[in-house]
């Protein structure tokens, strides 16, 4: 097996990995109620959106200047499932508060 190749690749099954890295705006702390509520909103998504094949979200544990603060690592079956996930009302509701206190970058790739 190639380095970094997971079981899905070795079995010929391809899925879409959706990665999101959030950076809290200056002065925003992770223990602020609006941030805590934002995290809770993300943690509730797996039970609300059928398209999610896997879902992880967590705070960064290192203190490096280049590090982002919060990460989401998820997978969906294909680009159609990704589109449905992104447009899902639960996803839209979960991401909305983050617009007020964070910026983010994403990467979507097949694996």
Residues 72-88 have pLDDT tens digits of: 999 999 999 999 999 99
User: How would residue 2 be classed by pLDDT, with cut points 50, 70 and 90?
Assistant: very low
* Statement: residue 8 has pLDDT above 60: no
Q: Judge: domain 14-110, CATH 3.30.70.100.
A: yes
In a 13 Å sphere around the CA of 45, the CA atoms on its Cβ side amount to 28
Domain extents in the chain: 14-110
* Statement: residue 40 has pLDDT above 60: yes
**Order of strands across the sheet that contains 16-24:** 54-59, 70-76, 16-24, 102-110
3-state secondary structure of 23: strand
User: How would residue 13 be classed by pLDDT, with cut points 50, 70 and 90?
Assistant: confident
Q: Which percentage of the chain shows pLDDT scores above 90? A: 87
């Amino acid at each position: 097996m190639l380095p970094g190749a997971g079981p899905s690749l070795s079995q010929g099954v391809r899925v879409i990995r959706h990665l999101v890295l959030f950076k809290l705006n200056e002065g925003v702390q992770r223990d602020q109620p609006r941030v805590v509520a934002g995290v809770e909103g993300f943690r509730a998504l797996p039970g609300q959106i059928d398209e999610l094949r896997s879902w992880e979200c967590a705070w960064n544990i290192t203190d490096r200047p280049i590090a982002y603060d919060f990460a989401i690592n998820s997978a969906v079956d294909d680009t159609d499932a990704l589109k449905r996930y992104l447009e899902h009302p639960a996803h839209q509701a979960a991401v909305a508060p983050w617009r007020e206190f964070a910026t983010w970058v994403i990467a979507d790739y097949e694996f």
